[in-house]
Chain A
């Protein structure tokens, strides 16, 4: 196969991977700080995707622009989820937390099914069929925009955690829960904030993803899994790790789809996950878990 095709697929995978990375970033933030496994992560993204589609179909608003308000809606959803439902479960055993989020996920998926029906929906923007040419590489415009948007949002999140007081407070909670309590941080509120932020990431990613794939209500679980693969591979507690993991998985998927059967591409992601869990559980960029 000519090199061009490999390059095209690789770049395409890389850009999609950036969006995956943003989605996973949300999970990393949640898991890294609140230490709850958000099994409703993919479902939350699906909600965001449907919001984007409604906005587009009803009001002709571009998903990339709607990204901000949708992220806001998801932020509120995440905040309420954490503050209202999840907080009492922080100290409960894993299976209890898991059950709680599974129940929430079931409700989300089926509300979507109820409201939107089972058929696939998608967004056809005016630039849906445009492409950019960089030398011999041709890339879909949608993917370029999505990829760039993902980087911008991720950068914004990095800056927040690095430089803002609230961001630092959240990192303190993640590092040392008791210490954070002792210095008077309102940990419960910070947890809710963190969950909201993670949800906002997933909301933004969802908006972007509508440009790339179709959405159906049961889309959620595979993206939750994907997010986990990315977060664990890239490294828990590392935000660049989530993006790196996303790019890696995006690339792997794309190349595997090209070189092997397209349906087998997820197998590679899972094989990588198993290897990482066994041999380098902290992931590529992560720190050793406490």
Chain B
């Protein structure tokens, strides 16, 4: 983690990447576009989670709760009141932030840290998963379905339309998240977060109110993740508590930043590309080999994950950056 700016090489590569991403819809077919949307989704959500973990050092394994709360809030407003997602966002984000505040407050006031904190977050997510099964207003276990008026033209206000619209929306979110995280990381709060992550007691001895800043990390992370939830609702158009809040979602969310590189700005993005790319490659490979058994792809995926975890414990980005001499070692 360097405190000065990016070296020129890094900025150039970044600009190149961004240009490629903007031009992508013109270059790839529809299927690949949907894959890119998924990549950007995980890059964004991973960036949001990274704030809590990579910056402030708090391991959340129940982050799906914020996706779910964001998704259900915006979806319910749309289904019951016809309120579009951009307004719905203004409600969904505070709801998720409030939830984050509650979890954070309970955990930090009562000294729940490390593994126990992680388990606490799992418990809350599970609680939401089962709880939402019983909330009739949002469809219960049968699910909540968003009415899709049309696919033909792009209605940005209601987020109804073609994949290309969703792509650019997600790209905008991801870019904004990147900029926000870069700003946060170099701000006073970002430094305090890193201090807390490295050694909370030493941070306190330097006058840092660690409770306050941990709360900030949780709340900001929750709010950002909720935006992904809103997108999720309007992209997939159906929500089931069993899926949305499931621990697999939480694990999915964190794969990209951990594999990519915790605490770095590029980690979540790189991780999302690598993981989704890997997954797609696996599917292709097995298809051409004629192996079409459920579970085959996932086994390979798991093995690849294992190899990366064993070989590159800090994630791919730090290793790659050293190779490309993009960051000081």
Q: Which residues of A contact B (CB under 8 A)?
A: 37, 85, 92, 94-96, 98-100, 102-107, 109-114, 117-118, 217, 221, 225, 228-229, 232, 261, 263-264, 266-267, 270-271, 273-274, 277-279, 281
**Which residues of B are found within 8 Å of A229, using beta-carbon distances?**
123
Contact between A114 and B302 (Cβ–Cβ < 8 Å)? no
Nearest chain B CB to A104 CB, angstrom units: 7
Taken together as a complex, chains A and B put the C-alpha atoms of A263 and B126 apart, in Å, by 12
Nearest chain A CB to B53 CB, angstrom units: 7
Contact between B310 and A114 (Cβ–Cβ < 8 Å)? no
In the complex, the chain A residue whose C-beta lies closest to that of B294 is A113
Residues 86-120 of chain B, each 1 if its beta carbon lies under 8 Å from chain A, else 0: 00000000000000000000100011101110111
**Which residues of A are found within 8 Å of B301, using beta-carbon distances?**
106, 110
B7 at the interface (CB under 8 A from A): no
Interface-located stretch among B20-28, B68-76, B128-136: B128-136
Contact between B126 and A103 (Cβ–Cβ < 8 Å)? no
Contact between B126 and A107 (Cβ–Cβ < 8 Å)? no
Q: With A274-B123, A279-B110, A281-B112 given, is the CB distance from A99 to B302 under 8 Å?
A: no
**Which residues of A are found within 8 Å of B262, using beta-carbon distances?**
95
Of the candidates A94, A95, A217, the one having the most CB atoms from chain B within 10 angstroms of its own CB is A95
In the complex, the chain A residue whose C-beta lies closest to that of B141 is A263
B61 at the interface (CB under 8 A from A): yes
Q: Is the interface of B mostly helix, strand, loop or mixed?
A: helix
Contact between B123 and A270 (Cβ–Cβ < 8 Å)? yes
- Of B120, B141, B258, which is within 8 A of A274 by CB? B120
- Of B130, B251, B296, which is within 8 A of A266 by CB? B130
Contact between B127 and A114 (Cβ–Cβ < 8 Å)? no
Beyond the given A99-B305, A281-B116, could you list 10 further A-B residue pairs with CB under 8 A, ordered by the A residue number? A94-B114, A100-B309, A106-B299, A118-B294, A225-B126, A261-B134, A263-B134, A271-B127, A274-B106, A277-B120
Nearest chain B CB to A284 CB, angstrom units: 16
B147 at the interface (CB under 8 A from A): no
Contact between A103 and B302 (Cβ–Cβ < 8 Å)? yes
**Which residues of A are found within 8 Å of B126, using beta-carbon distances?**
225, 266, 270
Report the count of interface residues on B (CB-CB < 8 A). Answer: 45
Contact between A278 and B112 (Cβ–Cβ < 8 Å)? yes
Contact between A107 and B247 (Cβ–Cβ < 8 Å)? no
Q: Is the interface of A mostly helix, strand, loop or mixed?
A: helix
Taken together as a complex, chains A and B put the C-alpha atoms of A117 and B294 apart, in Å, by 7
Contact between B131 and A267 (Cβ–Cβ < 8 Å)? yes
Q: Which residues of B contact A (CB under 8 A)?
A: 53, 59, 61, 106, 110-112, 114-116, 118-120, 122-124, 126-127, 130-131, 133-134, 141, 247-248, 251, 254-255, 258-259, 262, 293-296, 298-299, 301-303, 305-306, 309-310, 313
Contact between A110 and B299 (Cβ–Cβ < 8 Å)? yes
Nearest chain B CB to A62 CB, angstrom units: 29
Taken together as a complex, chains A and B put the C-alpha atoms of A117 and B61 apart, in Å, by 28
Q: With contacts defined as CB atoms under 8 Å apart, how many contacts are there between chain A and chain B in the complex? A: 119
In the complex, the chain A residue whose C-beta lies closest to that of B298 is A110
27 contacts between A and B (CB under 8 A): A94-B118, A95-B258, A96-B309, A99-B255, A99-B259, A100-B306, A102-B251, A103-B303, A105-B302, A106-B298, A109-B298, A110-B296, A110-B299, A111-B295, A113-B294, A113-B295, A117-B294, A217-B295, A261-B134, A270-B123, A270-B126, A270-B127, A274-B106, A274-B120, A274-B123, A274-B127, A281-B110
Nearest chain A CB to B325 CB, angstrom units: 25
Q: With A95-B59, A111-B299, A261-B134 given, is the CB distance from A104 to B123 under 8 Å?
A: no
In the complex, the chain B residue whose C-beta lies closest to that of A274 is B123
**Which residues of A are found within 8 Å of B118, using beta-carbon distances?**
37, 94, 98
Nearest chain B CB to A103 CB, angstrom units: 4
In the complex, the chain B residue whose C-beta lies closest to that of A31 is B115
- Of B110, B114, B255, B296, which is within 8 A of A114 by CB? B296
Taken together as a complex, chains A and B put the C-alpha atoms of A261 and B140 apart, in Å, by 13
**Which residues of A are found within 8 Å of B59, using beta-carbon distances?**
94-95, 98
**Which residues of B are found within 8 Å of A102, using beta-carbon distances?**
251, 305
**Which residues of A are found within 8 Å of B134, using beta-carbon distances?**
261, 263-264
Taken together as a complex, chains A and B put the C-alpha atoms of A232 and B123 apart, in Å, by 12
**Which residues of A are found within 8 Å of B294, using beta-carbon distances?**
113-114, 117-118
Taken together as a complex, chains A and B put the C-alpha atoms of A100 and B59 apart, in Å, by 15
Contact between A103 and B127 (Cβ–Cβ < 8 Å)? no
Contact between A277 and B116 (Cβ–Cβ < 8 Å)? yes
Nearest chain A CB to B78 CB, angstrom units: 26
